[in-house]
Structure 1
Amino acid sequence: MKSLGWKVQKAENLEDEMLIGIQTMSEQISAIVRERILRGKMELGKVIRQESLAEELNVSVVPLRQALARLHHEGVLCYLAHRGYFVRSFTEAQLFELYTLRLKLEPDSIALASTVATFEERSSAKRALQQLNSAYERDPEGFEYARSGFSISLLQPFNQEIIFDILIRLIRLSAQAWIQHMQGDWAHSVNLQTAVSIYHAWTAARSSEVAAKVREDIERNCRTCFPPSNST
């Protein structure tokens, strides 16, 4: 198993790549733990053994505790006194709420980002799309992590800091809730061509088209989890 030191030297996904060089040690650990959660590698309700995880990642316990506290603040983990941290479980109502909030903020924000994206940011989005396709074909347990990374790559040029931070949290939490709700039964609901069409509209800065396609994609994901008869 690769140590954290290897992770610092080589980013295997877009989110690590965008943040390497500006992260503290605890932030890097947070990213690794978040990825494990989105890959279903951390069991719901099971207390995280901090000493064992620190040894596994080849880090000290202090930055690990800071990382876990950060993830607790973000809503990724829960904490109980005298027990410790464990992966948060989401209800169907909470998942629906997350998608509802994304619908209000994400389409127009990604559309605006498309109009100001630099060449480097477009290149990062292209790599994120390639990673999404690769996960779909060869790494199903990493698919939702790659899908959230693709959404984040499209938001990266967005220059309204507060909305950006809120959306990043919403994307990550909805990915975590989606995995718990779908329990691996996602293949029938995924249309990679939608991501491709969003990417092409985004790189061409066709903002109205971007907003419409992103909105349609979020609505489709929501319908997959909540058929109309159950979401009204």
Structure 2
Amino acid sequence: MSIVVRTLSEQVFDVIRERIVTGRLPHDVAIRQDALAAELGISKIPLREALARLEQEGLLTSQANRGYFVRRMTAGEVDEIFALRLAIEPRAAGFAATVAGDEERAAAQRAFDELDAAIGNSSPDIGVRNRIFHAALVRAGDRPLTTQLVERLQVMSERYVIAYLRPTGRQDRADLQHRQLIDAWLDRDAAATEHLLATHIQGRFDDLKGRLNAEGAR
């Protein structure tokens, strides 16, 4: 059993990332670094490291003499994020289904069970559990770069899902699709896994485009 030691800046990165994804940090107000460091009980050094990494991840933008701001959400970014997800995730998950070992299969089942429980309990960590589940479907086969890309795209797309879809109660459909997806993946059915995952991602994309277009028309 390996023990993963995470630096303070990595822990701060996760905390701030969740605040961005869930909308707790507004996009039109500069992040108050002094206040945030005091709230988290840390110095500004690990905070700055985390903010710089979040900018690299595409969640923050910096302005000279003004600091960091949460990057605005746009319809164009939705197009790009979901085009990349559709190009990478389904095929990667299909491949992983065919090569996954016992530990990876157990991890995927556990990730689904935890996501299912979070949905059933309306837990606030549904987004985190969803990202863990999707990452588990592509992790097999020793492809760390693919896993990192999927996780990053998941984080970026989750911002939009929370802002535009979560309040509409569309989680039941996604939960059913996740059940079908894990069954196909555990059956090592690459074709079904690819089809189900592509359908799932495309459905989220279509829903988001519909909501964004409606918002733009107001």
Question: Which TM-score applies when normalising by structure 1?
Answer: 0.79
Please state how far the C-alpha of 1:20 moved relative to its aligned partner: 6.9
Q: Is structure 2 residue 190 aligned with structure 1 residue 180?
A: no
Tell me, yes or no, if structure 1 residue 116 matches structure 2 residue 99: yes
List structure 1 runs of 4+ shifted beyond 6 angstroms.
none
Q: Which residue identity does 2:70 align to in structure 1?
A: V
Cα distance per residue 1:148-197 (max 9 Å; x no partner): 22211222224334433333222211112333343x43423642111011
Counterpart of 2:48 (choices 31, 49, 65) is 65
Residues 212, 42 of structure 1: alpha-carbon distance in 2 compared, 3 angstrom cutoff: same
Shift of 1:133: 2.1
CA distance in 2, matches of 1:126, 1:57: 34
Please tell me whether the aligned partners of residues 76 and 173 of structure 1 are also in contact (alpha carbons under 8 angstroms). Answer: yes
Q: Does 1:146 align with 2:136?
A: no
Contact 2:135/2:147 (CA < 8 Å) preserved in 1? no
| Structure 2 runs not aligned, ≥5 long | 214-218
Deviation at 1:101, TM superposition (A): 1.4
Give the total of aligned pairs.
Answer: 209
Q: Structure 1 residues 214-223 or 159-168, which shifts more?
A: 159-168
Relative to the length of structure 2, the TM-score reads 0.84
Pair 1:36–1:22, CA change in 2 (3 A) = same
- Give the CA deviation at 1:49: 1.8
1:1-232 superposed matches below 5 A = 21-139=4-122, 141-182=124-165, 184-188=166-170, 190-191=172-173, 192-227=175-210
Q: Structure 1, residues 104-152: CA drift from partner, whole Å, max 9, x if none?
A: 1110001111222233322332232233223323336433333222211
Q: Distance in 2 between matches of 1:109 and 1:88?
A: 28
Using the aligned pairs only, state the percent identity.
31
| Change in 2 beyond 3 A, CA 1:32/1:90 | same
| CA pair 161-145 structure 1, distance change in 2 beyond 3 A | closer
Q: Quick check: 1:125–1:150 contact (8 Å CA) kept in 2?
A: yes
**In the alignment, which residue of structure 2 is the partner of 1:7?**
none
Check whether the contact 1:145–1:175 (CA below 8 A) recurs between aligned residues.
no
**How far apart are the structure 2 equivalents of 1:75 and 1:56?**
24
RMSD over equivalenced CA pairs, Å: 2.3
Taking a change above 3 Å as real, the CA distance of residues 91 and 59 of structure 1, as seen in their structure-2 partners, is same
